[in-house]
Amino acid sequence: MSTVDSAQPVLKNFVPYKPKRGEVYMNEKQQGHFKAILLDWRSQLMQEVDRTVNHMQDEAANFPDPADRATQEEEFSLELRTRDRERKLIKKIDSTIELIAQDDYGFCESCGIEIGIRRLEARPTANKCIDCKTLDEIKEKQLGSA
């Protein structure tokens, strides 16, 4: 798995889950499918963290030219902000893996209905069904423009 945008995984060799007719939602096989996706995503993010640390150690230099120093500091600042977002995402992935362990994964935290396999494959850390998420976004937009 690699990431184009840290918030959204891009899976290599991704095979969508094909539920069998009459299969119980969020059974062990489905939970295993999503746990594997989440663990792969987490592993990819952790590799990015390691790469950033190594890059910053290797590239750190005290440039005599203030413009060069400023450019390097800005580059490092952007990398650190990205890694901070990824750190928060890793926490969310960990809490999602915990939901799987507790058999609470895949159900909307607002209304309790099934989130759906396709939505979860698109956003494995989703904790709301599309309807509740849409309502939240509408409310947020209304509050933001008030």
Summarize pLDDT for 73-111 with one digit per residue, the tens. Answer: 888 888 889 889 999 999 999 999 999 999 999 999 999
Average pLDDT, rounded, for the chain: 88
Q: CB neighbours of 108 closer than 8 A, spacing ≥ 6?
A: 114, 115, 127, 128, 129, 132
Q: Given a cut of 50, is residue 137 above it in pLDDT?
A: yes
Domain positions in the chain: 2-144
When computed from its CA atoms, the radius of gyration of the chain, rounded to whole angstroms, is: 19
The CATH number assigned to the domain with range 2-144 reads 1.20.120.910
* pLDDT of 8 above 70: no
- Residue 75 CB: number of other CB atoms within 10 A? 13
Q: How many residues does the chain have?
A: 146
Helix extents (H) in the chain? 28-59, 66-101, 117-122, 130-144
